[in-house]
Amino acid sequence: MSRKFMSYQHKELEQNWQKHWKNKNIFKTIEDASKPKFYALDMFPYPSAAGLHVGHPMGYTATDIVARYYRMKGYNVLHPIGWDAFGLPAEQHAIDTGEHPSKLTYRSINNFKNQLQNLGFSYDWDKEIATCHPKYYHWTQWIFSLLYKKGLAYQAEVFVNWCPALKTVLANEEVVDGKSERGNHPVYRVAMKQWMLKITAYAERLLEDLNKIDWPESTKEIQRNWIKKSVGAKIKFSVKNYETEQIEVFTTRPDTLFGATYMVLAPEHPLVEKITTQEQLSKVTEYREVTSRKSDLDRTELNKEKSGVFTGAFAINPVNGQEVQIWISDYVLMGYGTGAIMAVPAHDSRDHEFAKKFGLKIQQVIASPNKDFNIEKEAYTEDGEIINSEFLNGLLVDAAKDKITEYLENKKIGEKSITYKLRDWIFSRQRYWGEPIPVLKDSKGNVIRAFEENELPLTLPEVSSYEPTGDGKSPLSAITNWVQRKNKNGELEFVETDTMPGSAGSSWYFLRYIDPFNNKCIGDYEKLKYWMPVDLYIGGQEHAVGHLLYARFWTKVLYDAGVCPVDEPFQKLVHQGMICKDGAKMSKSKGNGINPDDVIHQYGADSLRVYEMFMGPLTQTKEWDDSNLAGVHRFLSRVERFFLSDNGKSLLNDEPATQQDLKILHKTIKKVTEDIENLSFNTSIAQMMIFLNSVAESQCKNKEVLTQFIKILSPFAPHLAEELWYKCVVEEKISPQDKNYPFASLAEWPKYNPELTIDNEVKIGVQVNGKHRGEISIAMNASQEEAVAAAMENVNVKATIEGKIIRKTIYVANRILNFVVG
């Protein structure tokens, strides 16, 4: 079969150039402070046994295009990759099979690595890291010790997501509809002693500093809502028949205190057991048990039906002495605020719904301007004049807030307060496969100290069983010779047996890439100063209040400690869209995942890369379509055939290019340059298709013109670009094995001539009485006289006007010409 009817031989071609890139290590990061830098970063993958599906390379391809572009622009580029390698799946595999979790992890890493290399990504593999390697987690543990010494790591009894089947605490994102994401086991909210990180100490900075980074507004808003600053007052309610007990609430509406007609405690509130009457005990106990099986998300769902139980106890409203019932309800969380609220059903829709359901008093304290408004039917939530509130009557809301707060402070029953929705980070896991927490305790479980740097890393010991104990302890607790050690005084000390969550290693990995083999610190300060912050970070929005918030927190702590030169890690953040198959997100469980290895085998890595970028805007969700993938493959085959003869020789020549060819080239350079910087890859590819159509029509084979196109193509389809560069530019005068071989991937990015990107002529429509009658080609910014003269040469326009009087001529330069005739 003639070569011109065949697709290009992508398999051999791509493997060949990947081998040359690897052998020459051409993507190695250059340290040259005299040049500008660009740090392009992917959210590094968790290497599962399932491997990649075609949804994963979407973001990776985008960062690779940008990294290749800036490399060609003369920047020092840092484009690293590594592995988020501690995780529950590997541990569960170890529990099921007895095989050490590191073996599955490193098998998965090797598979992922092979898949990524087959896609031709320009990673600096010399900077590869894995969070489960002791040389890496040495410094994760060092950061924990730093946090402990700064008072930002502490132990407390808190409510956690406990999964009895997995025998471990789970993060909120690992719980779906009250069950574990892995295994679908029931999860309960129980109180356990856990290590905590005091992220709340940084709440204000985490909130304010969102204003100085280039992130999607939607992600910023998610973090703002998660941190959620509230200004109001703390108020103390005494409890009837319990003289020493008080219930403290925080409210943003102290002006409505006279309208507080009942109180609600979180079911887990420590006071519930003490104040619940004997008559209500069974109902309260049953309700608390049911609540323990609900996630925080389920409990705070606004549209769910309100539920609750009366404790039988009463509190005293501190401003009017009225007795108010104390209830428990799952919509109040122990982890938010004080775990108690004063309920003002007249002016809060949720409280109103609750009060109506249970027949509780509704007392209006803000007047509605609508005389027909019925407080029994709905809550009044707007501003207005205070009523039914003694010394606050007649004031507007803001003035009433100030006056009641002053009153509370004078009476010592309240004070002005600022709170945040953000809770401290639960940092304990009762697992084996995680970073050991570097802390020593005494025989009573009291913390003695954190490990010093010269004692690190505290490595994981061998264990006979990877399964956690049933009482909430990790498998490490059974390794006596690892847990127990004697100090210099011969006293027994005990190593902490909880391990860190998977989010620990991912909270600072972007710093370690810069100096991954430094044995003295997390990274040389001058190197960190040069490379940080990350210039472009691409990854999923699902990490908005997990990884992205934790990474910002750790960076600020390290900045305050003087070991990191920036206090925000990621200057620009972009979320790639999902790729769907048959309208659903790709996943192994749905059976709709497509293995990139299969696509590469049939169509090639370049086809996969270009197709995923051509599907639509990077940030949008897109539907996989095999026919469109085949179309992209045909486009690349057409590119190859345009440059090379049937026997693989260059078809380029030195025949002069026409003005039209130069114009389309420089328009393409301009368009692709701007589009890459704006991450508009789909329109870049569309422009390259327009270019190919144009030069094919004009039969342009000018070497100077088409050499520039190879450079433009290179970040998108690097393997094909290298092949064309070798055959058409280098002309096989030098071998890719030679020391000074000039790779297309390292060629200088082309510059465009602005004058050649401007059209000298423009087509505009001609209307007669508002109806389109033809088009004319005229010079840009032509005068009205010139436009009218050209229109009179148009046969259709001339025939329509002939014999009629031109009453008015409307001309908008470069846009339209309209004749009003009669």
Q: What is the pLDDT of residue 762?
A: 87
**For the segment 378-410, what is each residue's pLDDT rounded down to a tens digit?**
999 999 999 999 999 999 999 999 999 999 999
Q: Give the integer Cα–Cα distance in Å for 811 and 822.
A: 18
- Architecture label for domain 581-756: Orthogonal Bundle (1.10)
14-143+503-580 belongs to CATH 3.40.50.620:
yes
Contact between residue 202 and residue 553 where contact means Cβ atoms under 8 Å apart: yes
Low-confidence ranges of the chain (pLDDT < 50): 1-6
| Helix, strand, or coil (residue 695) | helix
457 upstream amide cis, omega within 30 of 0:
yes
CATH code matching the domain that covers 759-821, chosen among 1.25.40.10, 3.40.50.720, 3.10.20.590, 3.40.50.1000: 3.10.20.590
Rounded distance, CA 653 to CA 634, Å?
24
Rounded distance between C-alpha atoms, residue 530 and residue 537, angstroms: 17
Helix (H) or strand (E) holding 414: strand 414-420
What ranges do the domains of the chain cover?
14-143+503-580, 144-201+425-495, 229-420, 581-756, 759-821
DSSP secondary-structure letter at 241?
Answer: T
- Element housing 63 (H / E): helix 57-72
Give CA–CA dist 818/752, Å, rounded: 36
**DSSP assigned state of 745:** G
- Cα separations (Å) of 89 from 46, 174, 182, 530? 10, 12, 8, 37
Instruction: Tell me which residue of 85, 145, 130 sits closest to 502, measured CA to CA.
Output: 85
**Residue 212 to residues 37, 220, 297, 561, 567, Cα–Cα distance (Å):** 20, 11, 30, 21, 11
The CATH number of the domain covering residues in 229-420: 3.90.740.10
Q: Report whether 588 belongs to an annotated binding site.
A: yes
User: What is the pLDDT, as a whole number, of residue 589?
Assistant: 65
Whole-number Å distance between alpha carbons of 761 and 784: 15
The pLDDT tens digits for 563-610 are: 999 999 999 999 999 999 888 888 766 778 899 999 999 999 999 999
CB 652 within 8 A of CB 703: yes
The rounded distance, in Å, linking the Cα atoms of 28 and 608 is 24
